[in-house]
Amino acid sequence: MERRDVLKTLSAWIAGAAAPLAAVAAPPMPLKKTAVEWKALVSPAAYQVLFEEGTERAGSSPLNAEKRPGTFVCAACYLPLFDAAHKYESGTGWPSFWQPLPGALGTSTDFKLILPRTEYHCVRCGGHQGHVFNDGPQPTGKRYCNNGVALSFVPQGETLPALRS
């Protein structure tokens, strides 16, 4: 699928006229920016989490209480990452999801706490989002434990922001 086809599909999905992002076969175009460029676009707290793999304090994100239908997007590049229908209360103090949107996340293994954990990041900008665990609800059994500062929420019916270039 060519870039223009991906953009058409995304536009149609945003307008509610097409299938969800699962219909998008090609990954989004990678986005590379310097540290100075990212720092100009996101808050200091978001930069520390997204590009220095930090963690925000548990319970500090207003997105923990977000219950409306909509889409959670990467705070750095605005790639849609999670449908609000897949969010649940995990009791961890961070927004948690049982499933990401198809093709939105990449993973790697981190050993920062000695034991290996699966870290996930935005596939487009590489921004660190959180860690995935195998203690979530069915049907996936996964818990995508996300830093709220790494996300933005777009309520259903509002226009998703254009992907940053």
CA distance 3 to 156: 25
CA triple 125-109-20, angle to 5 deg: 45
CA distance 58 to 29: 32
- Of residues 74, 77, 122, 145, which has the active-site annotation? 145
Q: Is-cis flag, bond preceding 139, omega within 30? A: yes
Q: Is 7 helix (H, G, I), strand (E, B) or coil?
A: helix
Q: Is 77 labeled as catalytic in the residue annotation?
A: no
Name the β-bridge partners of 11.
Answer: none
The set of catalytic residues is 145
